[in-house]
Amino acid sequence: MFLKNPDAFATSAPAPGEFLAAYKQAAARAESVLCIDVSVKISSTYNVALMAKEYAAKEIPGVKIEVMDSLTAAASEGMIALAAARAADKGADLEQVIKVAQDVRDRVKIYVLLDTMKHVYRSGRVPKIAAQAGTALNIRPLFSVGVKVHPVGIVRSRERGIELMFEKMRARTGTNPINAAVMHAYALDAAIELKDRVAKEFNCRDLWLTEFSPVMGYACGTGTLGVAFYNEA
């Protein structure tokens, strides 16, 4: 059956019509719209959003729409969007909201620790044979997501992976206050432990727990953990 065969699964960006519908929905409440998308180096979503913006210029001409490449993904993208939304809620205009979003985009960082390499070939960035070899060797990669996905290190245990993640976080944050989010793919108990440790070891102004999106779960596999964060200005 298709649903029982992970190799038969596929992912795709939303269609332009879906973005256009979202723009229209937002336009019913605002005179301007900022659409923040996953890194263009990871997904075609940004380009589809730009295409929908052209359609919107004809269908809702009185609304100003800007599309921003977040240069990242997952909760770090969410942090950019949340900061922008908070600025808008306080009365900032579109130009000011974009500036806030760009500022957080420049500071946000994300580290993701895979529990297995078994499924990572689905992303198209790792050959299937390499993923199979990594699984056989019990390798767990740690990577960051900036403009692209970057490998940070390879470990043999989740515990060592978390230690490496924290080393990288400390190097970037020091004792500065941070905003952070812990993510997981069907690993709630481990994520709660990770969140508690982040709260204990870092000066967190804001800290929340969330699941990875289905696309991240598809590419990374069950058991994946991650932390997104940025220093307070």
CATH of the domain at 142: 3.30.1180.10
Q: In angstroms, what CA-CA distances link 137 with 67, 159, 184?
A: 42, 17, 23
Q: What is the pLDDT of residues 34-93, one digit of tens each?
A: 999 999 988 899 999 999 999 999 999 999 999 999 999 999 999 999 999 999 999 999
Strands 109-113, 225-231: pairing is antiparallel
Predicted pLDDT of residue 8: 55
Predicted pLDDT of residue 75: 95
Nearest partner of 96 among 86, 106, 107, judged by Cα: 86
Which domain covers residue 59, as residue numbers? 16-107
Domain boundary among 107, 135, 150: 107
CA–CA gap between residue 90 and residue 87 (Å, rounded):
5
Question: For the chain, what's the residue count?
Answer: 233
Measured CA angle at 81 (ends 79, 84), to 5 deg: 110
Q: How many domains does the chain have?
A: 2
pLDDT band of residue 232 (cuts 50, 70, 90) is confident
Amino acid at 97: V
Nearest partner of 148 among 64, 215, 72, judged by Cα: 72
Q: What is the pLDDT of residues 111-156, one digit of tens each?
A: 999 886 555 545 555 534 344 434 434 678 898 887 777 888 888 8
